[in-house]
Structure formats: structure tokens, C-alpha cells
Amino acid sequence: MRDWITRGFRAIYERVLRREISGAPSHVAIIQDGNRRYAQEHGAEAKDGHEAGAETTERVLEWCAQLGIEELTIYAFSTENFDRPAEEREHLFDLLAEKLYEFADSDRVHEDEVNIRVLGQTNRMPERVQKAIDYAQRHTAGYDSLTLNVAIAYGGRAALLDVTRDVAADVDAGALEPESVDVETIESRLYHGAMRKVDLIVRTGGDERTSNFLPWYANGNEAAVFFCTPYWPEFSKVDFLRAIRTYEAREASWRQTRAQRALALVRALGDEVQGRRVLDRLGETLPDDEPVAEETDSPAD
């Protein structure tokens, strides 16, 4: 009886959230935390938690396609995960390979035209995982409706360090002029080249930190962040919609801030026409009840 009530409440809440959300971020990045703790609380082994988490990943990919999200990045295996016990590591390697093959052959992936890309120091992974990575990328390379980035053997600092070494080597060899190094240079050398700026980071499992995840694309873009307590295998569509609502609230706040700054500029200029041009460039309009500054004498007059 209680389960039925809970499901009914979630269904109602999901409909409410859908009505509150007017759009969706272009790029969502997720730190899938809590698989092992989920397994422990259910009296299971760590591998069972990871397998349950893999099922959640499949559902989230489906939600992204439904909502029109263009890019999803999941933190599947960090550089720190190499320090885990050998038995757990080997199971993770097996699961990663299995799921990459499974995703690449999935009817839904092909129907939704999902392009699978893998980010990270993949040369550190066992041969079976590297073969699965190659298979998944080759079999979905022609798609561009939704991009799924799978971060494997990934660490944000390691990625930036690799780019720094690469740029330094080219400068030392005379193939690159130091003054020509710009944002595009860095992005073109990051794993798989440029991706969309991260709009929203989601972390499950209760911890409130971003764990060295996509610093160039997330921190540089001041992405919205949503922390939630459910372990990754428990992450629901309601949780996902709440995360998107957080993103929309932040975007609305930024739009208001930009409009307020533009209004201040209008008043400083005392020029309604020029002020409205500034607002138009920002994609904003003056509120109906907000008067434009009248012309005033300049301090020098």
C-alpha cells in the first residue's frame, strides 16, 4: 500500500515539475556516486551496486532524449578509481566493456541517434575495454542528435596537464608560437576536441563536491550544480527534473542580473535608444514598469 502511494505521489510530482520547466540545458554532466554504498545498504556486493547504477545510466540517457538535451557526460571511471581493490576494478572493467558494446548495439541508441564518445586516458585501460571503446565510437560516429560522453580513466587535472605538455612540446619543437595559444588551441587538444560548455553538473550520493570533473568546461562556464542524496541506482526522473529546475532558476537569476546591469547602463548613458540596443544584444527587454532614465546634465556641464 505504501509503495503504491509513493509511486502515485512521484507521478503527480513529476507532472508538476514538467509544467514548471520551460526548457532544458544543452549539456548535463553527472557524477554517479553511491553505487557501493547502495550495495552495502542492501546487503549486496559492490559489483551489484555498479550493475544497478548502469541501469540508471540507461534511463537517464532516455530522459535526455525525451527532454531535448543535446549532450550528456557521465563520470564512469576516474583516475582515482585505479586505486580500488583489484577484484572490484576487474569487475568495473568487465562492466564498462559490456555496457559499451550493449549501448553501441542498442536499438534506442540508434533510434535516438546517440553519438558515443569516450574521454580520458584510455590507454591505461585493459585491452578488452579499449576494444569496446573503439567499437562503440565507430558504430555511433555518424550520429549527432545526442552526444553521450563517457569519462573513463578521466581526471580534470590530468586532462589539463596532458594538454599543457602537448602544447609545450609543440612550442619547443617550433611547431607552435606561444602567442598563438588561445582557448581554441586548448579545446582542440582536450580529449576528443571541443564539446559544449557544461550547463549543469549533477552529483548523487550526498557529497557536495565536483571531484575534479570537467574543470575547463564546467568551472569556466560557471555551471549550475545540483547535489542530491539518493545513491546513483536510486536516482529517479523526479530527481533529474529537480536538477533541471535548479538550472533554470540559475539561468533566470543570471538573466535578471544582466538586465539590471543593462538598465544601470541605460541610466548612466541617459540614452534610451542606445540603452535598448544594449538590452537587445543581451536578448533582454526592459520590464514594462521600469522607466528609462531621462536625459540629465553631465557632471562636467
Q: 212 pLDDT band (50/70/90 cuts)?
A: confident
Q: Which of 66, 51, 3 is nearest to 232 (CA)?
A: 51
Rounded Cα distance between 212 and 183, Å, is: 20
User: The C-alpha cell of 105 is what?
Assistant: 548495439
pLDDT of 19 above 90: no
Q: 257 pLDDT band (50/70/90 cuts)?
A: low
pLDDT of 124 above 90: yes
- Pick 252 or 58 by higher pLDDT: 58
- Pick 278 or 215 by higher pLDDT: 215
- pLDDT attached to residue 193: 63
SS3 content of the chain, % helix, strand, coil (to 5): 55, 10, 30
Global pTM value: 0.78
- Pick 94 or 300 by higher pLDDT: 94
- Pick 215 or 135 by higher pLDDT: 135
Among 83-87, 167-171, 213-217, which is the least confidently predicted range?
Answer: 213-217
How large is the C-alpha radius of gyration of the chain? Answer: 23
* Residue that the C-alpha cell 572493467 belongs to: 93
Rounded Cα distance between 197 and 223, Å, is: 8
DSSP assignments along 234-296, one per residue = G--HHHHHHHHHHHHHHHHHHHHHHHHHHHHHHHHHT-HHHHHHHHHHTT----TT-PPPPP-
Rounded Cα distance between 151 and 216, Å, is: 14
Residue 222 corresponds to which amino acid?
Answer: E
Q: 295 pLDDT band (50/70/90 cuts)?
A: very low
DSSP assignments along 56-122, one per residue = HHHHHHHHHHHHT--EEEEEEEEGGGGGS-HHHHHHHHHHHHHHHHHHHH-HHHHHTTEEEEEES-G
- Pick 189 or 48 by higher pLDDT: 48
Mean pLDDT of 173-201: 86
- pLDDT attached to residue 216: 85
User: The C-alpha cell of 213 is what?
Assistant: 570533473
Mean pLDDT of 76-100: 95
Q: 291 pLDDT band (50/70/90 cuts)?
A: very low
Rounded Cα distance between 201 and 195, Å, is: 15
Cβ pair 267, 260 in contact under 8 A: no
Q: Which of 162, 147, 251 is nearest to 196 (CA)?
A: 147
Tens-digit pLDDT profile for residues 109-119: 999 999 999 99
Q: 49 pLDDT band (50/70/90 cuts)?
A: very high
Rounded Cα distance between 98 and 141, Å, is: 19
Q: 171 pLDDT band (50/70/90 cuts)?
A: very high
- For the annotated catalytic residues, the residue numbers are 33, 81
Q: Which helix (H) or strand (E) holds 151?
A: strand 146-154
| Percent of the chain residues topping a pLDDT of 70 | 76
Q: How many C-beta atoms surround the C-beta of residue 215 within 10 A?
A: 15
Q: Which of 146, 152, 140 is nearest to 32 (CA)?
A: 152
**Complete domains list, the chain, with CATH:** 23-235 (3.40.1180.10), 251-301 (no CATH)
pLDDT of 57 above 90: yes
| Percent of the chain residues topping a pLDDT of 90 | 60
pLDDT of 278 above 70: no
Mean per-residue pLDDT of the chain:
84
